[in-house]
Amino acid sequence: MSKIGKQEIQITPGVKVSQVSGVFTVVGPKGTLTKNFRDDIVITITDKIITLLPKRNDKFSKSLWGTYASHIKNMIEGVEKPYSKKLILEGVGFKSEIKGKEFHFALGFSHPVVVKIPDTITATADKNNITITGADKELVGSFSASIRALKKPEPYKGKGMRYEGEVIRRKQGKKTA
C-alpha cells in the first residue's frame, strides 16, 4: 500500500482539474499543466478532492500509485505558486546574462556558452545569481540541473555553478615543502 497514494488530494479554490482519456489537465492562475497518465491507476475527481486507486494489485501498479499522486500534487501547487531554483556562479571572469530567450555564459572556455530558455520558464540573471521559475516542477529542476552541469563546482577553490544552499566539500590542495 502506498502511503502517498492513499491520501486524498485537495483541490484549492481557483484551480480547475480535468481528465479526458488519460490526459490530466490542471488550470490555475499561474498557468496550465497537462500530463499523460497510464490507465493502470483510476483517478477520481470530485468537487474538491482527487482520489487514486490502482486497477490491479501488481507491483507495477502499486509503484505508479504514489508517483501519480505526487505528480498531481506538484501540478496543483505549481499553478498556484510557481517553483523556483536559484544558482550561484562563482569564479573570476565567470558571467551570466540573458539576451532575449537565451542564456549567455562566460565560463572560462574559449567560446561563450549559449543555452535556450524553454517557453514555460522565466529566468533572471543578476550579476552571478541565476533564478529559474516556472509552474512545472519537473521542468524547472531538469533545466536548472542542465545549466549547473555546464560548469560543476570544483572541490579545491569552489569555482563553478552551484545551487543556493548547496555545500561543496572542499579538498586540501598540494602541500609545499
d(CA 40, CA 16): 23
- Please name the residue that has the C-alpha cell 531538469: 142
Which pLDDT does position 40 carry in this prediction?
86
- For residues 79 and 18, what is the distance between their CA atoms, to the nearest angstrom? 14
Q: Looking at residue 143, what DSSP letter applies?
A: H
User: What pLDDT is stored for residue 1 in this prediction?
Assistant: 59
pTM of the predicted structure, to 2 decimals:
0.88
Q: Report all structural domains of the chain as residue ranges with CATH numbers, in order of start.
A: 3-80 (3.90.930.12), 83-163 (3.90.930.12)
**pLDDT tens for residues 8-62?**
899 988 899 998 888 999 999 988 999 998 888 888 898 889 998 888 888 888 8
Helical spans, DSSP H, in 81-149: 137-148
